[in-house]
Amino acid sequence: MTKPAFNFKDYIRPRFFPHLWCPGCGHGIVLGSLLRAVHELGLDKNEIVITSGIGCSSRISGYVDFHSLHTIHGRALTFATGVKLSKPNLKAIVPMGDGDALAIGGNHFIHAARRNIDITAIVMNNRIYGMTGGQFSPLSGSGKKATTAPYSTIDRNFDVVELAKSAGATFVARSTVYHANECKDFLKQAISHKGFSVVEILTQCPTYYGRKNKEGDAIQMMEGYKTNTAKIGSKRLESNPHLIQRGIFVEDTTVPEYCEAYDKIIETAMKGKA
Amino acid sequence: MKDKEHIRFLQGNEACVEGALYAGIDFFAGYPITPSTEIMEHLASRLPQKGGKFIQMEDEIASMGAIIGASLTGKKVMTATSGPGFSLKQEALGYACMAEIPCVIANVQRGGPSTGNPTHVSQGDVNQAKWGTHGDHAIIALTASNHQDVFNITVEAFNMAETYRTPVIILLDEVIGHMREKLVIPEPGEITVVERLRTSVQKGVDYHPYLPREDGRLPMSDFGGEHRYNVTGLFHDMWGFPNNNPKVVSELLRHLMEKIETNVNNINMYKEYWLEDAEYILVSYGSSARSAIHLARNRRARGFKIGVLELQTLWPFPADMVREKCAGAKAIVVVEMNMGQVVTQVKNAVDHPNKVFLANRVDGELISPSNIKTLLRMIQGKGV
């Protein structure tokens, strides 16, 4: 039996549209890649819970026709942990912005990774707080302009991939919205991976980050993702090692998944009682 | 005749655990904090024995988030904490008010503000239970002065969380939490247990998660079920979609308040001792009520007309009941271990606020019967 062709309308809630993202925002491409990934995996919409926090990126949860939980700033992973542990057969997907995931939510990010609970965390990295109007984030990096860094930032940035790796995430990947198909493929693998998976997707904010830092319009910023990144293992990266690396950095299936490990605790506890 | 399994000698925190298990708790998330830690320790061992889930989270906020997430999959959930942790949980607690998610939060009170007096008793979080999270909202907070009642109010906390789709706060205090005394665990069925009200709307029919039935209750649908809907902390319409239309905002806020406030009499739990002819009434709750009852019993034995009104529901405050019970009193003494939190409510409730006095103690020690007696003698003009 062949799967029906992908149709956006099968996966969105028209009532929620038009969306609130600015013209030229990259988040819609992340949404498209995510929906295509879900479609290609053949998942039932009833088995997906999408949990988000607060910010531009977090609005993604309302647009999709899954069980959706739009929570409080930075804490989406904690709510998703409750959902997943109490009903492990559900697929937990958590899209987050860079501030949501790694400033206010940084502690939850590393602890979810440490537990290796089967949640797919998507970090939509536009290097800025968009919804509040262009303040720098922990992923902006130094020497950048923002409304709260009128003289330029002195804060260094996290490297999401390195942070996720060292915190124990068992699937770690990075792509950009320029590489929409690659995004979709990484998301498919992340959702299928049993354990905590992190997919960082570089996505442009022409309205605030682009304007403040004179990086041009959406198209120019997307071209930047093409020219400034390279796939790991590629010749291009070998000859330009300073480029931002894209690819799957970690895929480890040897670490026990948290909910499965807890099922063994239940088994032990029940025996102990009997 | 109850057997050993049913008659126990235990801490108040354990009585709370027994009540939660009786009520059907499925999921607990927590973070260690004195003096509530025993609740999570005991649930860590008891929950998996019945196939439930326990998780120690990375912080207090995470614990609150996790129980809300678990509740949405249809589970009965709880967390436990004390002062500083209760402060941290407030934002997510407000989320549970707004999104109308059943959950139970035990706060075993210690001295505050800040790190305060972690191993000593206080009742300083009464107002925080009501006003801790931002914005107008209604809340239910229950308390108890002995372990049998701790058990009972814990069962009721779960029942009320389900009935009203709201967070319910169990306000214990350090003395109750750590003191050991007898608990008789009721047989199944002896106390009513309210189960999750699930929607009868069939697959394929539009389900409105935020459209109350005629009786005001909101049937739920578990995450993972046939109905996919949105849950948000934003003001929202009957589908759970964000909406800032002034009419929608106003109606939702009024609904959140009224579903609790119109049920004050159903939510109100209290006990009374020797009130019929009492000229002097001690109003108290939690461990303070033990001293109040002790003093009243001794004074009664000497022919003194004194009684005790022990509050078990602190929020919504049962103002009408307090006014009625205190109507004939010469003086009303509110006994509590804070700078006067319930006394303010009592003064607002009664016809003659000038007859209301505060007997308090805020040094980390349990208020004693003689502390209360000292104030009573002064009120009576007998000196100290």
Supply B211's token pair: 């459209």
Cβ-Cβ pairs closer than 8 A, A with B, add up to 137
Q: Using alpha carbons, select from A222, A254, A161 the residue that is nearest to residue A27.
A: A222
User: With the C-alpha atoms ordered B43, B48, B50, B51, is the resulting torsion angle positive or negative?
Assistant: positive
* Residues A15, A166 contacting (CB under 8 angstroms): no
Cα separation, B206 vs B10, whole angstroms: 49
Cβ distance of A270 and B48 shorter than 8 Å: yes
Residues 29-48 of B with CB under 8 A from A: 29, 45, 48
- B374 and B232 housed in the same domain: no
- B278 and B347 housed in the same domain: yes
Supply A157's token pair: 């940035």
Supply B334's token pair: 């509110």
- Which of residues B267, B297, B328 is at a domain's end? B267
Tell me the residue range of the domain where B113 lies. Answer: 1-267
The strand pairing partners of B18, in sequence order, are none
- B174 and B244 housed in the same domain: yes
* A79, A257, A260, A265, best to mutate vs chain B, most B CBs in 10 Å: A79
Cα separation, B303 vs B274, whole angstroms: 12
* Residues B268, B318 contacting (CB under 8 angstroms): yes
Does B167 touch chain A if contact means CB atoms closer than 8 Å?
no
**Residue type present at position B282:** L
Residue B98 located in a structural domain: yes
Quick one: pLDDT at residue B122? 98
Residue B343 located in a structural domain: yes
- B262 and B280 housed in the same domain: no
- For residue A266, the Cα-to-chain-centroid distance in whole angstroms is 31
Q: Exposed, middle or buried, A253 (CB in 10 Å: 0-12/13-18/19+)?
A: exposed
Query: Length of chain B, please?
Result: 384
Those residues whose C-beta lies under 8 Å from the C-beta of residue A233, and which sit 6 or more positions away, are A247
Which string of b and e fits B180-192 if b means at least 16 CB within 10 Å?
eeebebbeeeeee
Question: Chain A residue closest to B68 (CA)?
Answer: A79
Query: Length of chain A, please?
Result: 274
Does B62 touch chain A if contact means CB atoms closer than 8 Å?
yes
Using a CB-CB cut-off of 8 Å, the residues of chain A touching B241 are 13, 15-16, 62
Q: In angstroms, what CA-CA distances link A116 with A34, A94, A119, A256, B64? A: 21, 14, 8, 7, 20
Supply B258's token pair: 């009224």
Cα separation, B88 vs B339, whole angstroms: 22
Cα separation, A109 vs B64, whole angstroms: 16
Residue B231 located in a structural domain: yes
Question: Chain A residue closest to B75 (CA)?
Answer: A86
Quick one: pLDDT at residue B383? 84
- B239 and B309 housed in the same domain: no
User: With the C-alpha atoms ordered A268, A270, A271, A273, is the resulting torsion angle positive or negative?
Assistant: positive
- B128 and B84 housed in the same domain: yes
Using a CB-CB cut-off of 8 Å, the residues of chain B touching A49 are 223-224
Cα separation, B68 vs A262, whole angstroms: 19
pLDDT tens readout for residues B294-348: 999 999 999 999 999 999 999 999 999 999 999 999 999 999 999 999 999 999 9
Cβ distance of A82 and B69 shorter than 8 Å: yes
Q: Which residues of chain A have pLDDT under 50?
A: 274
Quick one: pLDDT at residue A273? 58
Cβ distance of B48 and A268 shorter than 8 Å: yes
- Which of residues B201, B233, B267 is at a domain's end? B267
Residue B47 located in a structural domain: yes
Residue B54 located in a structural domain: yes
* Residues A144, A153 contacting (CB under 8 angstroms): yes
Cα separation, B63 vs B78, whole angstroms: 9
Q: Using alpha carbons, select from A172, A229, A212, A211 the residue that is nearest to residue A195.
A: A172
The conformational region for residue A232 under phi > 0 = left, psi -120 to 50 = alpha, else beta, is beta
- B27 and B141 housed in the same domain: yes
Residue B219 located in a structural domain: yes
Does B91 touch chain A if contact means CB atoms closer than 8 Å?
yes
Closest chain A C-alpha to B367 CA, distance in angstroms: 40
Supply B301's token pair: 């034995």
Cα separation, B18 vs B254, whole angstroms: 35
pLDDT at B1 over 60: no
- B170 and B125 housed in the same domain: yes
pLDDT at B350 over 60: yes
Closest chain B C-alpha to A214 CA, distance in angstroms: 34
CATH code of the domain covering residue B30: 3.40.50.970
* B101, B228, B237, B239, best to mutate vs chain A, most A CBs in 10 Å: B228
Structural domains of chain B, count:
2
Dihedral angle computed from the Cα positions of residues A115, A118, A120 and A121, in that order, rounded to the nearest 10 degrees: -20
- Which of residues B241, B267, B293 is at a domain's end? B267
Quick one: pLDDT at residue B5? 81
**Residue type present at position A158:** F
CATH code of the domain covering residue B345: 3.40.50.920
User: With the C-alpha atoms ordered A215, A216, A222, A228, is the resulting torsion angle positive or negative?
Assistant: negative
Residue B384 located in a structural domain: no
Q: Characterize the bridge pairing of strands B331-336 and A197-202.
A: unpaired
- B139 and B4 housed in the same domain: yes
Cβ distance of A86 and B73 shorter than 8 Å: yes
Those residues whose C-beta lies under 8 Å from the C-beta of residue B288, and which sit 6 or more positions away, are B123, B145, B335, B336, B337, B366, B367
Closest chain A C-alpha to B88 CA, distance in angstroms: 12
- B187 and B279 housed in the same domain: no
A interface residues, B as partner, C-beta within 8 Å: 13, 15-16, 45-47, 49, 51, 61-62, 65-72, 75, 78-87, 89-90, 107-108, 111, 262, 265-266, 268-270, 272-273
Q: What's the complex ipTM?
A: 0.97
pLDDT tens readout for residues B279-301: 999 999 999 999 999 999 999 99
Quick one: pLDDT at residue B3? 76
* Residues A117, A196 contacting (CB under 8 angstroms): yes
- B262 and B288 housed in the same domain: no
Average pLDDT of the residues in B103-109: 98
- B299 and B187 housed in the same domain: no
Residue B99 located in a structural domain: yes
**Residue type present at position A261:** A
Cα separation, A238 vs A245, whole angstroms: 11
Q: Going from the N-terminus, what domains does chain A have, and what CATH number goes with each? A: 19-273 (3.40.50.970)
Instruction: Please give the backbone phi and psi of residue B103, each rounded to the nearest 5 degrees, phi first.
Output: -165, 155
pLDDT at B2 over 90: no
Closest partner CB to B62 (pick from A16, A84, A108):
A108
3-class SS of residue B378: helix
Using a CB-CB cut-off of 8 Å, the residues of chain A touching B77 are 82, 86
Quick one: pLDDT at residue B9? 97
Instruction: Detail the DSSP E strand segments found in chain B.
Output: 7-11, 27-30, 53-56, 77-81, 103-111, 117-121, 140-142, 167-173, 180-184, 230-232, 270-273, 280-284, 306-311, 313-315, 331-336, 356-360
Supply A266's token pair: 């239940």
Closest partner CB to A266 (pick from B51, B231, B242):
B51
* B73, B78, B227, best to mutate vs chain A, most A CBs in 10 Å: B73
Q: Characterize the bridge pairing of strands B313-315 and B140-142.
A: antiparallel
